[in-house]
Structure 1
Amino acid sequence: MATLYIANKNYSSWSLRPWVLMTHLGIPFDEQLRVFGEGSNWDAFRRFSPNGRVPCLHDGDSVVWDSLAIMEYLAERHPGIWPSDAGARAWARCAAAEMHSGFATLRNACGMSCGVRVRLREVDAALKADIARINELWNEGLARLGGPFLAGNAFTAVDAFFAPVVFRIQTYGLPMEGAASAYVARMLALPAMREWYVAALAEPWRDGAHEAETLHYGEVIEDFRIA
């Protein structure tokens, strides 16, 4: 059985991607959670991950790091990772790659913190542009490929790539339009997403860097995590 190394479920958006995909599709794996420490995690995470980051998948003699590489590794071994239709698959890969390399302002100003609700101090032009592009991209996929998921009738890797954005929308109350709004509700109701969220709320750890980043950009108005 493969082993998936992840970090705190409350914060680790990159870890969520392969975890939610493998969980939703029923691909068996052993979860190994490593807690973010104050300052650099490099030395601790380098023990299992060549780049000192999460997620990292160990499968026999294979060690696969980076969420996109993990998706492609899984796609070579399991059905349903990407859409079966070539056109839908091409769109899904483009959208996932755009998420993987883009939306820097959204990442910085709206870091993932599943268990809190935050009122942003400012929504500047760059953040508005990222939110508008998410709306455009999601509505395009849902309309062109028929839904109810981004690339058709099944949850695939592109949905997993945007799963952290779904939690960010819930945390920061980001505005979604049209079919994208219903998509957010559908994603939050998925059993795998619910399982991650409940576990995130139950975590006792607080990472100073992540907490400070949240407070830099906004005001926490609700905290549903355990005391």
Structure 2
Amino acid sequence: LSIYMHISKICYLNMYRRVTHVIFDMDGLLLNTEDLYTMAFQNICSAYGKTYDWSIKIKIMGKKPDIAAQYVLDCLEIPLTYLQWKEKFNSQMDTVFSKSKLLPGVQKLVSHLKSKGIPIAICSGSSKAAYIAKTSHHSEFFSQFNPIVLCGDDPEVKHGKPHPEAYLVTNSRFQSPPDPESVLVFEDAPNGVVAGIEANMQVVMVPDQRVPKELTDKATLVLKSLEDFKPELFGLPPF
């Protein structure tokens, strides 16, 4: 009891709500796959003499695959349909995503929350096929999450991030769904941060260092790395 009283005091002093459940984004947050997406997208764009740069990437991070791809095609005036783009992307997906690695601090935090009985979930913009390509060599790690919502082709998620629907659907699939106010989201993308906040959840953001500060302002807390996260700030068991 005294431990939880101490934790509650910390939460109060830091103006953060105590949480009971945690939802993680995946690309660029758990895995280094945002860099791998950049590689795959540039492979396609370069065939048409185009450059897929950061100014485009930051606009599509966290969005559903079809929306993201169409934005790139329109912005760079590449003469492909979405289905043609998808075919080219899928042809290199297994090779590119076989290089996926867990980012710093991920293993420690996830294992800690799991060992303390904190329900943890994933809410990703990925399709099922992309998810399998990214995670097949990390199967033991990803078996710790339930639910895993893949917004890229989940029929219940009709609107991708920054719409809050993805996080609300994920929350509804916990075994005992909590009030959204009791959920902590981890994100790397501005679109995902907006989605979590609009779902009435607190959001810890671990942004790419190139993200402008003004695009991090809506986050509840901004960190340089998951290695810097202190669970007790949100009433979670400390390391």
Which band: TM-score by shorter chain?
A: 0.3 to 0.5
TM-score with structure 1 setting the length: 0.33
Give the number of the structure whose alpha-carbon radius of gyration is greater: 2
Normalising by structure 2, report the TM-score: 0.32
